[in-house]
Amino acid sequence: MPAILKLCALCIWMALLPCAAGLLPCLALPAEKRTFPRIAVTGFLVTFAVFEIIAIPVLLYTKLGDFELLVRIYSAAMLAIAAGGVFGAAKSGGTAHLRAGGMRFCAKGSGACALLWAAFAVLLCFELFMAYSHASFDGDDAYYVTQSVLTYQTGTMYRYLPYTGISTEIDFRHALAMLPMWTAAVGRLCRTHPAIIAHSMQPLLFIPLADLVYYRIARELFRDREEKNLLIPAFLVIIALLQIFGNVSIYTPETFLLTRTWQGKTLLANFLIPCGILSLLLLAGEGQPAENTAGGRREGYLLALLVCAASGLFTSMAPPFAALLLTGGTLVMDVIQKEPHMGRFVRVLALCAPAYLYTALYLALR
């Protein structure tokens, strides 16, 4: 495949379709709430959830883990979800940015706002440049990236030891977390080596995606503040600086984000858990009375469900982590805010069902 076609395919399978997939769940929201950051974050959660839900039965019930079948079903599902989302949005008022004629970051004449956004853009571009132009050694790549390459080259899933190549039984401690298979699937769909997808392409996607979640968190944190147009970019500048200067130990989310961006645990720390925090912020909202009803909190519940449905993809412990964060968070919230009948906690307890299923499967198989 010529390089330009590969690039187009990468844009479609790694960005365009996942974003379009976010339109379908966002149909549950009014058109003015269908903003790009909201659709994109939701879309990637949908993408990861769809892949995990398809990949687990394919791994368990097909001979040697039929990767070609997985890619066919996944690509068909993504095209259908994206098409459904685009069609549904067109029928129900479009999206906020289309209605407003594009995204606006600052009001006209706000120099300080533009300066802060420019500072954030410079920091983000620096991170992306370093991620693309510099290689980061991590021993775990010999496991995760090799699993992607093995699947890409052999069409099987988790049937060979990645370190040496000897055939083996499925290692369920790692196998249910399917991110390496998603990397291989993107590689197959774009005819690109999985090591290039993991090391060169995914950082260009996952670092902005992490920032997009923080942007949404900032929107919630500052939504009642007059000067939010300044505070949001200022918040993101500090977030970017914390990422660049966050290597205080090898364990911090920021270190993972910039040095092993393509691994599932990185997405757990920098995408899934912040999405969980965002969901809690949305559920804890104290805006208009209408927003404190079950209907007004729909977005928070939707996000909680998607976080749990996608959690299985990242690491084996991500589903119990997601369930613990969301149920524990809403329990504390309901007790402190004196929610009648513990409404949020009970609903979130039910919405965490996918995480319980992943956890039960892991405990049964490992």
Partner 1 sequence: MREIIEIIIRYRGEGWLFLLYAAALLLILVREKRRSVRVVLGILPLCLLLVFMLPPVYGIYTRIDGKETYYRLLWFLPVSATLAYAGVSLPELLKGGGSGKRLSFVLPFLLACALVVAGGDYTYDSVHISRAENRLHLPQTVIDLCDYIVSAGDGSRNIQVAFPSEHVHYVRQYTTDIRLSFGREMMVDRWGFDNPVYEQMEVPESIDAKALCEALLADECRFVVLSAARKIDGDLSDYGYEKKVLLDGYYVYKNASLPPA
- Token digits of residue 43: 């879309």
Residue 340 CB, nearest distance to partner 1 (Å)? Answer: 16
Residue 359 to residue 134: CA distance in whole angstroms: 36
For partner 1, the closer CB: 47 or 359: 359
CB of 142 within 8 A of CB of 163? Answer: yes
Q: In this structure, what DSSP letter does residue 2 have?
A: -
The region of 21-29, 35-43, 59-67, 317-325 touching partner 1 under the rule CB under 8 A is 317-325
Q: Which is nearer to partner 1, 95 or 316 (CB)?
A: 316
Give the binding range for partner 1 (CB under 8 A) out of 42-50, 53-61, 76-84, 275-283.
Answer: 275-283
Question: How many Å is the Cα radius of gyration of the chain?
Answer: 20
Please give the backbone phi and psi of residue 165, each rounded to the nearest 5 degrees, phi first. 105, 5
358 counts as binding partner 1 under rule CB under 8 A:
no
The residue among 185 and 230 lying less far from partner 1, judged by its C-beta, is 230
* Gap between the terminal Cα atoms of the chain: 40
Distance between CA atoms of residues 228 and 213, nearest Å: 17
Among 59, 207, 258, 323, binds partner 1 (CB under 8 A): 258
Span near partner 1 by CB under 8 A; candidates 18-26, 80-88, 177-185, 245-253: 245-253
The whole-angstrom distance between residue 79's C-alpha and the CA centroid of its chain comes to 18
Q: Which two tokens stand for residue 145?
A: 């990236």
Residue from the set 8, 31, 60, 317 that interacts with partner 1 by CB under 8 A: 317
Q: Pick out residues in 20-79 that bind partner 1 (CB under 8 A).
A: none
Question: Does residue number 254 form part of the binding site for partner 1 (CB under 8 A)?
Answer: yes
Stretch that binds partner 1, among 24-32, 150-158, 301-309, 347-355 (CB under 8 A): 150-158
Is the Cβ–Cβ distance between 130 and 203 less than 8 Å? no
Distances (CA, A) of 112 to 9, 107, 258: 38, 11, 28
Q: Report the alpha-carbon distance of residue 341 to residue 357 in Å, rounded.
A: 26
Q: Tokens standing for 211?
A: 């920032």
Size of the site for partner 1 (CB under 8 A): 87
Site string for partner 1, 286-305 (x = CB under 8 A): x-------------------
The only residue of 72, 99, 134, 191 in contact with partner 1, by rule CB under 8 A: 134
In the complex, minimum distance from the CB of residue 78 to partner 1, in angstroms, rounded to a whole number: 25
Tell me how far apart the alpha carbons of residues 351 and 280 are, in angstroms, rounded to a whole number. 13
Per CB under 8 A, which region of 20-28, 79-87, 90-98, 241-249 contacts partner 1? 241-249
Q: Are 216 and 307 in contact (CB under 8 A)?
A: no
Considering only residues 191 to 230 of the shown chain, the ones binding partner 1 according to CB under 8 A are: 193, 195-196, 199-200, 214, 217-218, 221, 224-227, 230
Is residue 285 a contact point for partner 1 (CB under 8 A)?
yes
- 308 makes contact with partner 1 (CB under 8 A): no
